[in-house]
Chain A
Amino acid sequence: MMGRGALTAWLRRLGGLVLIAALIATLRSVGLLDPERLVRGVRNLGIFARGLFPPDPSTLPTLGGAMLETIQIAFAGTAIGFVLALPLALLACPVLFGPPVTASVKLVLALVRTVPALFWAIVFVVAVGLGPAAGTLAVALYSLGYLGKLLYETFDGVDPEVVEAVRSVGCSRAQLARYAILPETANGILALLLFMFEYNVRASSIMGFVGAGGIGFYLLGYIQLLRYDLLLSGLLLTLAVVILIDWLSGLVRRMFLIPVTPAAPAE
């Protein structure tokens, strides 16, 4: 008769074996246990890496224009998404509205978020044609879904005492939002907006893969033409712009954001 401790140990061993078997089956299923394929992959990576260097800067003027378009897509998309997300986030704020309204708005935002940005780009390419307009609308919708959620969660975090104090003056819900919730969360709103813009610059750089404008169109083209040296130039340009925008965002944060718990001067 097997003891309880031995049974547990046996079950653990069995569980471990099942996990390992599942992992092996998965790797086999996705083709990662095919030695010939793996060897070919390593060889191709070598060719790819050799092809990247030295980067060819000859198309930088063209890429610069495309990068500017990428930034424009991110900027306009973030702005449109924010303008749409702000009122929806307020509608999802339980301090201001009851469960039927807040739950409905949260559901809509969740639905918008479910769809990846690239899929929205395909939808808008179909709707408005190839080019940055489709990319901008895709980024706007994607931003709406995420900013909406992040904003209503920020509004939920407002100090209840501030809400009670301002409510007690006899104001309306709109006034409560205008004079308590929005100013109290101004730091958070600005931080979210900057984060979303930075994120969208990265996201917009692949919008061109589906013809929705920006530098992605060229990057995909260089991959298809096996011009990895041109691709590396494009990637380095993107990296430089992302670093620059990170730095600028940090500058804006330092300029506008106030300390959360500043020390009060002595009496």
Chain B
Amino acid sequence: MTADRRPALEASDLWFSYSARRPVLRGVSLTAAAGEITIVLGVSGSGKTTLLKLCKGLLGPQRGAVRVLGEPVVAGRRRRLDPGVAYIPQHLGLVRNSGVLDNVLTGALGRVAELPSLLRRLPEDELRRAQALLERLGIGGKAAEKVYALSGGERQRVAIARALMQRPRLLLADEFVSQLDVLTSRDILTIVRGIAAEGVAVVVTTHEMELADRYADTVIVLRDGEKVLDRRAQAETITDIALALRG
């Protein structure tokens, strides 16, 4: 893994609430370095998904700021988002009626000419890149299939291919292996580790401690919207994580 610790993502003092009730996030800060995997752990309702949406710009913080490679992330319900930040939601957000290749190609929409893309005319090199990504992820033969016909692990790979199609500097993945069996989860996270090794900063949320122990360079634990642990992954981290999660 690369030793570059340049912060690709800097989130500082993030506060967010969906209503007047208790905030979902309370003053959470984090940094994620290029070439590393940061795993955000927390039980359901601890604020993990909200944190990733703030980092992506799908939500705007009530207080605090997010920067990606030094550039501020500006949220807006209908504004164009930064294609350099890839986001994989918990249930992947694939268009089920579309084919696998079409889903992957959506990753290129942020950089291709708009009008031809509306007529499904995408540059040949983008088509080749999408096919190559599918080959790399082991589902090259599924390009023409509809997403609804794929298995869970294959859908995960399609979502990763779409994210990589964006040529991301930062990859945000929200609980995206939580519904897979152990072996498939490991396969997927090994792929993610390879992506990080290419210099992409990866932030993955999960509630599974074992994944943090095995794959994280940095572990962050959220509890009730607050960060209660943020440290480099070490052999003894697993005990600290368990204590932090339990409170």
List chain A positions with a Cβ less than 8 A from chain B: 96-98, 159, 161-175, 178-180, 183-184, 186-187, 258-259, 262, 264-267
Contact = CB atoms under 8 A, between A and B. Distances in A.
B81 A170 contact: yes
Given A96-B78, A97-B78, A168 B94 contact: no
B239 interface: no
Contacts of A166: 93, 95, 106, 109
Contacts, number: 111
A171 to B, nearest CB: 4
B92 A179 contact: no
23 contacts: A96-B78, A97-B78, A159-B93, A161-B89, A162-B93, A162-B94, A162-B95, A164-B93, A165-B93, A166-B106, A169-B83, A169-B107, A169-B110, A169-B162, A170-B84, A170-B109, A170-B110, A171-B110, A175-B114, A178-B118, A179-B106, A180-B95, A267-B184
B41 interface: no
Contacts of B87: 164-165, 168
B93 A187 contact: no
A184 B106 CA distance: 13
Interface in B211-241: none
Contacts of B140: none
A266 B151 CA distance: 6
A156 to B, nearest CB: 15
Nearest to A97: B78
A100 to B, nearest CB: 12
A200 to B, nearest CB: 26
B91 A179 contact: no
B98 interface: yes
Contacts of B159: 165
B93 A174 contact: no
A262 B97 contact: no
B149 interface: yes
Given A168-B58, A169-B166, A184-B96, A98 B109 contact: no
A166 B97 CA distance: 14
Contacts of B184: 267
Contact of B109 (A162, A175, A262, A265): A175
Contact of B58 (A167, A259, A262, A266): A167
Contacts of A161: 89-93
B124 interface: no
Nearest to A257: B97
Given A179-B95, A187-B97, A267-B184, A171 B150 contact: no
B39 interface: no
A98 B146 CA distance: 32
Interface in B85-130: 85-98, 102, 106-111, 114, 117-118
A267 B152 contact: yes
A186 B106 CA distance: 17
Contacts of B85: 168
User: When A and B form their complex, which 3 residue pairs have the shortest distance between CB atoms, in order from nearest?
Assistant: A165-B93, A170-B110, A170-B83
A163 B78 CA distance: 11
B97 A175 contact: no
B153 interface: yes
Interface in B167-226: 181, 184
